[in-house]
Structure 1
């Protein structure tokens, strides 16, 4: 058996369905909340789950704190986001996977559900995330608005996928959230441009989708007209055109998100110099008048 962590912050819309997808499968479900201000905790308390709260610093730090400070019954754990769901098929394969001693962790692919449809093409399916692992062998660091795992040992891949409901809280919440995310992405972009490089070997001959995707990310921050290029890449090259209206909407939103990052990179590199209003200057700094003699 393995324990399940559920990460939350203001997830009153998603939390009940998320818990219900796993509560009958795992004998330990732990909700790790970042001091939600809505009804997330009130709803979670209706279920037989453990609830802990910790102030949010970053995605990487929150996960690492959770793994180090929140004890579990089992050495294997699964991380479940509130807008994701566990399935019986996925759970069964995870149970089988942890019986092997070959790997210390497993990547699981997401199925992005957007506007009531699975947008398979424009989301780079299968797109893998580290979800199942031994908690003493994995920790997380920050990368942009999200996190990256650091694994002390070999990793494998689960065949079953998990559903990811990306817009369950509506477009307004999506826009508000990605406006915040773009600030951290801009900082990471500047860092990558100054100190990072593109791993061309991983880009073309990466051993896994994870290596190839990360190398592509490092390349993309160096491309001119990034928002437009990203739309063309997702809509035509990946095949978002075959995902219908949800696919087109998703590609437009991702291009807009990329444009927010570009704007914030420019803003950080070109701080605005504001003129000080004359009336705000102290009297001593104001120019003195000179008398004109006739």
Structure 2
């Protein structure tokens, strides 16, 4: 999926050209994304973006792939020959319908090995028609039919490839969605203590830990201490300190926006109230 990815799209497509069926689902980019993508043998489709979960579900339901198995690759991620070979081998196992792959976060020209909870898995490879997506915060969570496995190879994720300003702008948007999801989880969710301590996979444990973290006081500070000291972010050098600081800022922004949503009426809400009272025409 793409939106204004002119800085990343060429390298992303080139890394994926181990496959002969590459599909770019664009959200009507205003930069050179479409122009650059047209230089490669890809299928380029445009669809208005509503949310990450809905966009992924739309593309899986609306665009028939050439093969039974698909791999989702974000524009700031890269496929590697080693990962591609493992993917091909994995699709031959009839016992699995989907696979998680670990991301290798690249920041300030360095692999952030420790403070990113590596190996941190994302669902990337799956049999078409056996996986769909629901919205969760700024991103999505998958719903899988059948047995899910884990691949050994990882994929590079250049999370700040478009510069720090773009990262801050993006995470400002993300924090709004995460704040809404935080309030929703606090009101309707619960902590899965069984998965927290005895989860069968890193994914189950990580999601249970996130549900717990939403209920802890001083979340931004706790996140920094957890990432920098407990996970060993201090071993990631200068880049690790910067990464942990940015993540702490992001967590604090989510917390502030959640408080604002709960305690301060939004302009839209104020307008609706005034209209309802007949004070506005």
Within 5 Å, which residues of 2 pair with 1:157-196?
157-196=150-189
Match of 2:176, SS state, is helix
Q: Please point out which of 151, 165, 181 is paired with 2:144.
A: 151
Q: Please point out which of 135, 147, 156 is paired with 1:142.
A: 135
Please report how far the alpha carbon of residue 27 of structure 1 lies from its aligned counterpart in structure 2 after TM superposition. Answer: 1.2
What whole-Å deviation, never above 9, does each CA across 1:116-139 have from its counterpart, x for those lacking one?
000010000000000000111000
Q: Please point out which of 8, 20, 23 is paired with 2:2.
A: 8
CA distance in 2, matches of 1:259, 1:273: 20
Which structure has the greater CA radius of gyration?
1
Match of 1:157, SS state, is strand
CA RMSD after TM alignment: 1.3
Please report how far the alpha carbon of residue 271 of structure 1 lies from its aligned counterpart in structure 2 after TM superposition. Answer: 1.3
CA distance in 1, matches of 2:20, 2:258: 46
Please report how far the alpha carbon of residue 272 of structure 1 lies from its aligned counterpart in structure 2 after TM superposition. Answer: 4.9
Higher fraction of helix = 2
Match of 1:27, SS state, is coil
TM superposition score normalised by structure 1 = 0.90
Q: Please point out which of 117, 120, 136 is paired with 1:124.
A: 117
What whole-Å deviation, never above 9, does each CA across 1:22-80 have from its counterpart, x for those lacking one?
11x10100111111111001000000111001000000000000000011111100000
1:93 corresponds to 2:86: yes
Q: Please point out which of 29, 40, 51 is paired with 1:36.
A: 29
CA distance in 2, matches of 1:249, 1:199: 31
4+ residue runs of structure 1 moved beyond 2 angstroms? none
Gaps spanning 5+ residues in structure 1: where?
1-6, 277-284, 286-294
What whole-Å deviation, never above 9, does each CA across 1:257-291 have from its counterpart, x for those lacking one?
000000001101111599x9xxxxxxxx9xxxxxx
TM superposition score normalised by structure 2 = 0.94
CA distance in 1, matches of 2:82, 2:74: 18
Q: Please point out which of 53, 65, 68 is paired with 1:72.
A: 65
Match of 1:82, SS state, is coil
Gaps spanning 5+ residues in structure 2: where?
271-278
Q: Please point out which of 103, 111, 114 is paired with 2:107.
A: 114
Count of paired positions: 269
CA distance in 2, matches of 1:12, 1:79: 19
